[in-house]
Amino acid sequence: MKELKLIGADLLEIVDESLDEVFGRGRKRVIYYYLDRIFDIKREEIPEDFGKFLRSLEELFGGGAEIIKRVIMKKLDKKLLMEQTI
């Protein structure tokens, strides 16, 4: 079986695309601002501490974070499936 490999840049790209899809480009920048200021997680650090990023979304958006997480997971699944078929 082929080993699947997802690098930090891939994960960050997926997070960017997901936030764009849910909120739009301008609001995405505001979300990154609040993640940095309130939760001390910079955009570049998201792949290193994905769990902290997800917890921060939950604190910021409450139950609405589930929508964002679903979009991210759907894109992750798609990316991993593409990697598997290559």
pTM (predicted TM-score)? 0.85
**Pair of tokens at residue 4:** 């699947």
Q: Which residue in this structure is represented by tokens 């650090």?
A: 45
For residues 42 and 29, is the Cβ–Cβ distance under 8 A? no
Which pLDDT score is estimated for 86? 57
What CA–CA distance (Å, rounded) separates 60 from 28?
Answer: 13
pLDDT tier, 4 (very low <50, low <70, confident <90, very high otherwise): very low
Q: Which two tokens stand for residue 32?
A: 């990154």
Structure tokens that stand for 57 in this block: 């979304």
Express each pLDDT in 27-84 by its tens digit.
999 999 999 999 999 999 999 999 999 999 999 999 999 999 999 999 999 988 776 6
φ/ψ (deg, to 5) at 3:
-80, 130
Q: What is the mean pLDDT of the segment spanning 12-21?
A: 96
Higher model confidence: residue 64 or residue 3?
Answer: 64
